Chains A and B, each alone.
Chain A
Amino acid sequence: MSAATTSQHKGSVNYLNCDYSLKSWLTTLDHKRIGLLYLIAILIFFLIGGSMALMIRYELLTPEGDFLMSDTYNKTFTMHGVALIFFFLIPSIPAVLGNFLLPLMLGAKDVAFPRLNLLSWYVFMAGATLGTIALVAGGVDTGWTFYTPLSSTFAHGAVVLAVSAAFVAGFSSIMTGVNFIVTIHMMRAPGLTWSRLPLFVWAHYATSLIQVLGTPVIAITLFLVGVERAIGIGIFDPKLGGDPVLFQHLFWFYSHPAVYIMILPGMGVISEVIACFARRRIFGYDFVAYSSLAIAVLGFFVWGHHMFVSGQSMYAGMVFSVITFLVAIPSAVKIFNWTATLYKGSIHLTAPMLFALSFMGLFTIGGLTGLFLASMAVDIHLHDTYFVVAHFHYVMVGGQIIAFLAGLHFWWPKMTGRMYPEGLGKLSALVTFIGFNLTFMPQFILGYMGMPRRYHSYPEEWQVLHVLSSAGASVLAAGFLLTIGYLIWSLWYGEKASANPWGAKGLEWQVPSPPPTENFEGKPIVKEEAYHYSPELHEEEKEYEHV
């Protein structure tokens, strides 16, 4: 990041060009720089996980397992899961956009505990290094879920390394959560009451609640698996009478709320982007804000829907199923509110807006297919099939990654002082949308046909659908690589960005881009409500020169 960027008046010092030394970057306490450090780290793991995805899709072109040996294939999809979930999806929006923007949106100089923030990055890198060593040392063939007794006694990969990688990365997530909770409570500018907070901040508060209260449970579960495998203390070992279903309970107690850690910040980004490019206050602000909290809390009651056919008792299954249906309601409320926000707005179809609209479409499909898996009778047929794979990719890739791209494009000028190329941005949004649907829509059909997950070979009558899906995967990969390409290109050759290229409301747009290290000169005072746009006033159009 050695871009010499100057905002309007020449030679102004900002957080990027104030010090170029490596030491200043590696010992920075500035939340903005830590956000960029996280961005670089998760980009590496996005590429690792993405290449694994392409290998899987390439293998599944043919019914027989002829591209990879079955062991290598199992290690590939396991590392695809571990790399992308623990080292990309969970940290991506909170640690990159959240770290960069929360203090700016709250009018604060920095997060509450800057040193803890830097420590969370180093703990993340320690976890990442352990993960890479596990990959290099032969990989793990247990699936990212580490189900015992396969992971604790029968698997012969580097399970202890992979488990400790996820264990360490979990603490980085906890530190970020603690930091954000205290920052949002304690560091708000005068006048910035909870009902005036941007919805991005609401979403991060709900996410931090899950990060702090969910992650320790997977830490202790993975600790037990590691202890069982390394020392032989058989907690889950069936020969001693240990119950593998107990492991599933403890694992999913965290891992379902974890999917809400991934999607809630995405929803926060979408609220910001839609409000800005529809020039309108979000419809039903209170409902959208409280639905974030409702999702976070209800998310802890539903983990049993992963275990309807795992020997869990029928009565417990029914309780989990009905609450899973309840947790779908707040998500539906958000989608309806975003749609209603477009009414009587003045809509600018910029690249972030295109990503946001495709998020709305894909997340609606992703969320509703979740109801298939929540209804117990249908889940008996669909559990552990490609229907589940399609469902969670619709929510995680179609939802979270596309929301992350929307946020990245929306705040790129603020983060780097450079504009991304608008035309390529729109193209990449289109290519990603088409490639994604082509990849995962056929997998719904495959799922209902009964194609099980994590299969290296399959009956040949399904080959057509797999070929379609693999074709889509390459288009999706092209879309992502195009985005990475022009974003990096824009660091040097992108157009200089003004302080507020989109004419957006919000404290982060009142500081120059890229912002100075101490964010605000004086202490900003907030007098008006969030998203104070007025679309009917036409004179507002002229100062917004970019679209």
Chain B
Amino acid sequence: MMTEHKMPDIKTYVIVFLALVGLTFFTVYSALNWHVKLGPLDLNIILAIAIACTKAGLVIAYFMNLKNSSKLAKTWAGAGLFFLLIMFVFGLSDFVSRWFTVEGW
């Protein structure tokens, strides 16, 4: 029985690799040179995380070939991310909301 197995070709790999390297240089450059502050929030952090997420997305979709993998693999990758976010959001909810005073209830 033929195993039909879709893999990206070499050209795609190299393009994705160059994109990743480009993003790395961009994130280093932006972290060191731009210091945009919006009140207490440091925009650098959001930019750095956004770039890291796009790099992660590229690696998952092309290098790990999730694009052509089964629907099950996609659901389980999504499940891992979903429960990770639960831990972040609910875990941080305690530390962030500790300083809310209760005057206004």
A and B touch in the complex (CB under 8 A): yes
Chain A residues in contact with chain B, CB under 8 A? 181, 185, 209, 213, 217, 245-246, 249-250, 253, 300-301, 303-304, 307, 312-316, 319-320
A315 close to B93 (CB less than 8 A): yes
> Across the interface, which residues of B come within 8 angstroms of A316, CB to CB?
90, 93-94, 97
B83: contacting residue among A181, A213, A249, A314, CB under 8 A: A213
Near A by CB (< 8 A), chain B positions 69-96 give: 72, 76, 79-80, 83, 86-87, 90-91, 93-95
CB < 8 Å neighbour of A301 from B72, B90, B95: B90
Task: Give the size range of B's interface with the partner.
Answer: 10 to 19
B83 and A319 contact, CB distance less than 8 A = no
Report yes or no: A217 in contact with B90, Cβ–Cβ below 8 A.
no
Least CB distance, B3 to chain A, in whole angstroms:
15
CA of A315 to CA of B90 in the docked complex: distance in angstroms?
11
Query: What is the CA–CA distance of A301 and B94 in the complex, to the nearest angstrom?
Result: 13
Given pairs A181-B76, A301-B86, A313-B98, 17 additional interface contacts (CB within 8 A): A209-B79, A213-B83, A217-B87, A249-B91, A249-B94, A250-B91, A300-B83, A312-B94, A313-B93, A313-B94, A313-B95, A315-B97, A316-B90, A316-B93, A316-B94, A316-B97, A319-B90
The reply on B102 being an interface residue by CB < 8 A is yes
**Interface pair B79/A213, CB less than 8 Å apart:** yes
19 contacts between A and B (CB under 8 A): A185-B72, A209-B79, A213-B80, A213-B83, A217-B87, A250-B91, A253-B87, A300-B86, A303-B90, A307-B94, A312-B94, A313-B98, A313-B100, A314-B97, A315-B93, A315-B97, A316-B90, A316-B94, A319-B93
Choice from B72, B86, B102 contacting A314 with Cβ under 8 Å? B102
Measured between C-beta atoms, what is the minimum distance from A480 to chain B in Å?
36
Most buried by B among A209, A246, A307, A313: A313
A209 to B83, CA, bound (A): 11
Q: How far is the CB of A224 from the nearest CB of chain B, in Å?
A: 14
Alpha-carbon gap, A250 to B87, bound state (A): 8
A218 CB to closest chain B CB, in angstroms?
A: 12
Q: Which B residues lie within 8 Å of A313 (CB)?
A: 93-95, 97-98, 100
Q: How far is the CB of A183 from chain B (nearest CB, A)?
A: 13
Residues in A neighbouring B95, C-beta threshold 8 A: 246, 313
CB proximity of A308 to chain B, nearest CB, Å: 11
**Bound: A250/B79 CA distance, A:** 19
Measured in the bound complex, the distance between the Cα atoms of B95 and A307 in whole Å is 13
Complex: A315 Cα to B94 Cα, angstroms: 8
Cα–Cα, bound, A246→B100 (Å): 18
Closest chain B residue to A213 by CB distance? B83
